[in-house]
Structure 1
Amino acid sequence: MARNLDITLVRTFVTAADSASMTVAANSLHLTQGAVSQQIRRLEEALGCTLFERDRRGLRLTPVGERLLGKARRLLGMNDEIWAEMSASAMQGRVRLGVPYDLVGTTLAPVFRAYTEAWPQIDISLVCGSSPELADALAAGDIDLAIIEEPVGATTGECLRVEPLVWVGARGGRARLKHPLPVSMVTHTCAFRPVVLAALRNQGFEWRTVFENGNIEATTATVRTDLAVTAWLASTVPADLDILGADAGLPALPNFSINLHLPRHGGDTAAQEFARYLREGLLRQREAA
């Protein structure tokens, strides 16, 4: 007799596997941690096997869970594709996406192209800003969804990827040796700024701001010409600049999450489909890395 998998349980399993944390999965799915645990247990009972083990670092897939994960992703992809195609008549209008300056031309560019090719009838408007500005715009209803960079930890959004925040300088440059340290930030509202300055203060570094006006091209120019150093996510560092390692003598910086935020009502069909492309696009980038 044919038996059917519950797609909701499968989606919860994949989210928990990707985040290796019940808490992060619960935040991403807008559920309680107890609800996520219960759904995982129901799936395990239905399949008659254990999918996760716990250790000090969080959740770890069992060998059976590892075998299930790839097929579960394909199942979800097919499910979401069917829903998108069958609801194509509803896919009209505009999507306003908020994106941090540093992700527009690097991490997210392939996702934008894939979405516009699949849904040419949807008008996409990009709103660039710092992560705090984008969070305010989403809350005000000025944008339909937002990619927000936040320190790793509790969030109301869905974690798409975690990346190291790194120091960046000119190739063979000497700005990192100057006192006080010249630091260039894109804007005074940059999500990285409080973390970077706190790290400098905690290690007793004197610093001065070289540039803060919201233009990433100008910030890049100050670093490229060795006027200053900056801090960016590792994947966004231009190839002609150096990631400054521990031997540079600068204080360590924490990891940051690239999080997807939707309005409380979840957004319309076009925004939900854009969210799916963002999830899958960043997942493919992570698997290819």
Structure 2
Amino acid sequence: MSKHIVFMIVAAVLTTSCVTSKVYKDLEGKYASLKRKNRKMEDQFAELEKQNNTNKKSLNERTAQYEKVKAERDELQRNYDAAQANYENLKRSYDALEKNSSAAIAANSKKNRELLSQLEEKERVLAQERTRLDKLQRDLEARSQRVDELEGLIAAKDAKMQKLKSAISKALRNFEGKGLTVEERNGKVYISMENKLLFESGSWAVGAQGRKAVKQLGKVLAENPDIAVLIEGHTDDDPYTGNTQLSGNWDLSTKRATAIVTILVENKRIDPQNLTAAGRGEFAPVAGNDTSQGKSKNRRIEVILTPKLDEISKLLNDI
């Protein structure tokens, strides 16, 4: 473009006027100078254009990078905004939860204190109950031991009474069939002697045969000082019409029981404290009084031997 401008200027000058060679050479020199300047400017322009292209390319790259960074920034902003919104929601939820939790914790704490108090009370009651049960267990074991001891004593007493019955049966063997019987019932030994062996009718004096039987019985009793001896007198239901000193059958039965006691205490080895005399009259018959045979059975002395139960009674009281 610069060339054309210079050429047109020169042409205009030539056509409008005649110039000298000196002017022409000046102009030609100026033209050459301008031409050099133009080439230089063209080179500069090309260089600038090249630089411009490079800058353009760099600008495009930077623009693309900018757009990418901008898109990433926008995405980050959106993510940030979403996170911020989520954070606000979470904070509101947390604040509400904390508020509710504080009330719930306070309520639960109160309830826990109440439950703890109840638990401590139950533990105290349980400890008392355990102590009571332990005491009951010890008492039960002690009672069980005493029951075992009691059973042992009873078994020993029963064995002793069996042995005593055998000893009495052996001692009175000669009087069997003469109105004398020996038996063991309920842990006691019963010796029954009908009046025909001991007394005359209406009398309380013991005959020779009866005295002998009582003496034999006394020997066995003397060997067993821990036996309680009850002597009972019995009659039939016939009214007593004998000695006027007696008031009736009850009096007569008592006299006969006392007569047996008197013979027994002749044996100094027998403790009188072990002996008891009782009159039962006609009120404890063993047979009917409507026959002579029945009446004969009812007129009798019964000697009831009972083991002393002091130890057993003590154990029973301790149970």
TM-score (norm 2): 0.20
More strand by share: 1
Q: More relative contact order in 1 or in 2 (CA 8 Å, sep 6+)?
A: 1
More helix by share: 2
